[in-house]
């Protein structure tokens, strides 16, 4: 097991009075792919969004417990959320490129970080698009609208956009659920390559996808972390009954 990147201790989350996460404890290893699986409404996406404080945007969210990234409590008083989100990038279920050119989409992150030098930006854009394995498809039309691309290409643009800000952790919230099988395969291949350099946490409905892409798998049910282990163990020899039932398709 690699070093621990994210260490969550006794995390509770309430939407108003409704508990969404109950005493979650997890240690997520660095430069590996960790998958969160579980039925709808089990809190896996909510948990993912606590890791870059995206839940701050929602009213009436109450969070207790600790989330430590590199041993810094990201819910501490001194934490700069803007910089935290640069470090912890996020890919969403629905690809959401800005209604701008492909180039502008990728350059957005560096630009808001104050990089204005054209050559540097060009370099970052090319590097990010190459990393996201989409450079060859779009290099001739960098100045076309990103919305003119297919859904799978848009999603890889979003990944490239996230890579351009140089994150350490990439959170993916069902990144392939709206995509066709070929695009999904490309995204999965990409995840495999990216884990050399980044810690990846992926939420997925698709258990095969979790089995294919991840090194570790966490199973959530009704706001609780039921089981967390190596993916092979979870899928071949789960220790909890609920996990086994879910994986074998008895519910969910």
Positions in the binding site for other proteins (CB under 8 A): 52, 54, 57, 59, 82-87, 89-90, 92, 94, 96-100, 108-109, 112-113, 147, 158, 161-162, 165
Task: With CA atoms as reference, report the closest residue to 5 among 75, 93, 58, 68.
Answer: 68
Give the residue with the Cβ less far from other proteins, 90 or 247: 90
Question: At closest approach, how far in Å is the CB of 219 from other proteins?
Answer: 25
Nearest distance from C-beta of residue 145 to other proteins, angstroms: 10
| Shortest Cβ 239–other proteins spacing (Å) | 34
Query: What residues have CB less than 8 Å from 104, skipping those under 6 apart?
Result: 98, 146
Tell me how far, at minimum, the Cβ of 108 lies from other proteins, in Å: 7
DSSP state of 145: B
| For other proteins, the closer CB: 164 or 190 | 164
Cβ-based nearer residue to other proteins, 44 or 86:
86
Closest by alpha carbon to 1, among 28, 26, 36? 28
Radius of gyration of the chain from Cα atoms?
Answer: 18
Terminal Cα-to-Cα distance of the chain (whole angstroms): 30
Closer to other proteins by CB, 156 or 235: give it: 156
Q: Are 26 and 229 in contact (CB under 8 A)?
A: no
Q: Which two tokens stand for residue 193?
A: 């390559």
């Amino acid at each position: 097991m690699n070093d621990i990147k994210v260490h969550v201790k006794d995390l509770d989350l309430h939407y108003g009075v409704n508990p969404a996460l109950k005493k979650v404890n997890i240690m997520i290893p660095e430069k590996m792919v960790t998958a969160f699986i579980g039925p709808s409404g089990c809190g896996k996406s909510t948990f993912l969004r606590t890791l870059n404080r995206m839940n701050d945007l929602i009213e009436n969210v109450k969070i207790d417990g600790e989330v430590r990234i590199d041993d810094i409590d990201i819910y501490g008083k001194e934490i700069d959320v803007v910089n935290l989100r640069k470090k912890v990038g996020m890919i969403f279920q629905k690809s959401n490129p800005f209604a701008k050119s492909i180039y502008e989409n990728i350059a957005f992150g560096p630009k808001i970080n104050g990089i204005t030098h054209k050559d540097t930006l060009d370099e970052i854009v090319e590097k990010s698009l190459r990393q996201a394995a989409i450079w060859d498809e779009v290099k001739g039309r960098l100045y076309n609208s990103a919305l003119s691309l297919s859904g799978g290409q848009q999603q890889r643009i979003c990944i490239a956009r996230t890579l351009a800000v140089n994150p350490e952790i990439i959170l993916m919230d069902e990144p392939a659920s709206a995509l066709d099988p070929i695009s999904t395969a490309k995204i999965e291949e990409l995840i495999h390559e990216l884990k050399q350099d980044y810690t990846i946490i992926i939420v997925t409905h698709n258990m095969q996808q979790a089995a294919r892409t991840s090194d570790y798998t966490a199973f959530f049910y009704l706001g609780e972390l039921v089981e967390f282990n190596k993916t092979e163990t979870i899928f071949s020899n789960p220790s909890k009954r609920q996990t086994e039932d879910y994986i074998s398709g008895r519910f969910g």
